[in-house]
Amino acid sequence: MSTMLHGCFADTDYFEVRSGRGLDYGVWVTTPPNYESGVGEVPVVYVLDGNWTVGLTAPLIVTQHDPMQRIKPYIQVSVGYAGEEAAEWASLRNRDLVPPGEPVAQEFLDAVELGVRTGAMSREQADAHVAELRDTRADEFLGFLTSELHHRIERDYGTAEGGHGLFGYSYGGLFSLYAWLAGASLFESVGAGSPGVASADSRIFEQIEALGERSARLHLTVNDRELLGEVPIYQNLAKNAATVLHMLTSRGAAVSGEVLRETHVTGLQSSFLSYLRACRAV
């Protein structure tokens, strides 16, 4: 990492890795202040959508030294896309973060079309965005995180054997929820911020119906302006997230939730902080 960028993202390494499927990923590893590998093993928190999230979440590593509310030590591993593909991260994430067979909500398609009409995206970008939703592979991406990437992080950074976490927002939150429901044993706590459960026919509800015991802690957040605003896709996310929370609590699951005073776009950092406070506070 350049000297200038290292000044912005202290204690952060960057590398690129090719998965067993031949897909390239960019990985940012942010270690706690004054961390020395092998001196006191520290668990990992994996954060999705690294191309977007690393700048808003990695600096919060300093919460581990907050005298008013300390957070347990962790190494943050932010996972995104590398090379020329990095510019297309907003589309590629659909492939990796959405569960197989997840229906595409009409409200989502309407939001994409609105983006084209308002100039927020080109027709080519919109088509690529939707195309990735026709063959979604969250199961394979979960396998990459737990069976490939984690072994490298464990080897290179001398991490703890347990106590690891996962955080995702929007479609990343959908992935986090999917991973928790799938019983991914690597993660002892999971944060799902405004999870992208966009359809009432989501596969997530099938997973909940088939849910067995889960010892891992799940923390779910939504934003009040999603629910109270006038954007249908965000209204759906918030309502469905509330339904997910109610279904899980009625089954006695280890789940907590918080409503944040944010929009869908501004809620990322607040959601990550909420996860840290709920699941990783000293």
Which of 184, 188, 200, 278 has its CA nearest to residue 232? 200
Alpha-carbon radius of gyration of the chain: 18
**Each residue's pLDDT tens digit, 216-265:** 999 999 999 999 999 999 999 999 999 999 999 999 999 999 999 999 99
Q: How would you label 240-258 residue by residue, b for 16+ Cβ within 10 Å and e otherwise?
A: bbebbbebbeeeebbbbbb
Compute the average pLDDT of residues 154-170. 95
Q: Domain 3-279, CATH 3.40.50.1820 — does that match?
A: yes
Q: pLDDT-based confidence at 178, cuts 50/70/90? A: very high
Does position 1 have pLDDT exceeding 70, yes or no? no
Q: Can you give the pLDDT at residue 4?
A: 45
C-alpha 193/C-alpha 47 separation (Å) is 11
Query: What stretches of the chain show up as alpha helix (H) in DSSP?
Result: 3-8, 50-57, 89-97, 106-117, 123-131, 138-143, 150-157, 171-181, 203-209, 224-228, 232-250, 267-279
Using 50, 70 and 90 to split pLDDT, how confident is the model at 171? very high
For 118-150, what is each residue's pLDDT tens digit?
888 888 887 877 777 788 999 999 999 999 999
pLDDT band at 8 (very low <50, low <70, confident <90, very high): low
SS (H, E, C) 24-48: EEEEEEECCCCCCCCCCCCCEEEEC
* Residue in the structure block whose two tokens are 């690129």: 16
pLDDT digits (tens, 9 = 90+) for 203-218: 999 999 999 888 899 9
Neighbours of 265 (CB within 10 A): 10
Domain ranges of the chain: 3-279
pLDDT at 110: 82
What pLDDT band is residue 37 in, cutting at 50, 70 and 90?
Answer: low
Give CA–CA dist 132/139, Å, rounded.
Answer: 15
Whether residue 164 is predicted with pLDDT greater than 90 in this model: the reply is: yes
The pLDDT value recorded for residue 133 is 78
pLDDT of residue 271: 98
pTM: 0.93
Separation between Cα atoms, residue 86 and residue 165, nearest integer Å: 24
Q: Residue 39: its pLDDT value, please?
A: 58
What pLDDT, on a 0 to 100 scale, did the predictor assign at position 269?
A: 98
pLDDT of the residue at 240: 95
